[in-house]
Amino acid sequence: MIKLCVGVDTVEGLIDWHRPDLARGRPWTMHTRQTPKRAAELVEGGSLYRVFKGVVLCRQAILAVDTVGEGIHARCQVTLDPEVVRVAPTPRRAFQGWRYLSAAGAPPDLGSGVDGDIPEDLARRLREAGAW
């Protein structure tokens, strides 16, 4: 699953935003309107990939997909692993809501054969210059 990250511009900002909830023992959740029809597939090894300013930068393993509420108030709640895994920066056009992301289309984790020790700001500038 892939979703735009709205309200924060960096992976660090996302982690900082959820830090108080995690400190209180609350699970890391993401809410959306529609429950995925392929929810079982997402829970069995799937991840939520995050797009920051047009670039996929991280992912989190999906632990559960639940529908909460009833009737017109029903919403989807996706429970995520608190470990944020950085991925190879990959450009992605804007879209609304969320989308399924095939394993073949998913960016590789950093540290898995990709130059992952490069600072995020430098990686962004290299991508903008077309050098990466």
**pLDDT of amino acid 128:** 67
**pLDDT of amino acid 116:** 52
Number of independent structural domains in the chain: 1
C-alpha–C-alpha distance, residues 119 and 96, integer Å: 29
* Distances 109 to 13, 17, 68, 96, 129 between C-alpha atoms, Å: 19, 22, 31, 24, 22
Q: Which domain holds residue 102?
A: 2-128
**pLDDT of amino acid 130:** 62
**pLDDT of amino acid 110:** 84
Tell the burial category of 71 from Cβ atoms under 10 Å away from its Cβ (0-12, 13-18, 19+).
exposed
The predicted model scores a pTM of 0.82
Residue ranges of the chain with per-residue pLDDT less than 50: 113-114
C-alpha–C-alpha distance, residues 2 and 99, integer Å: 5
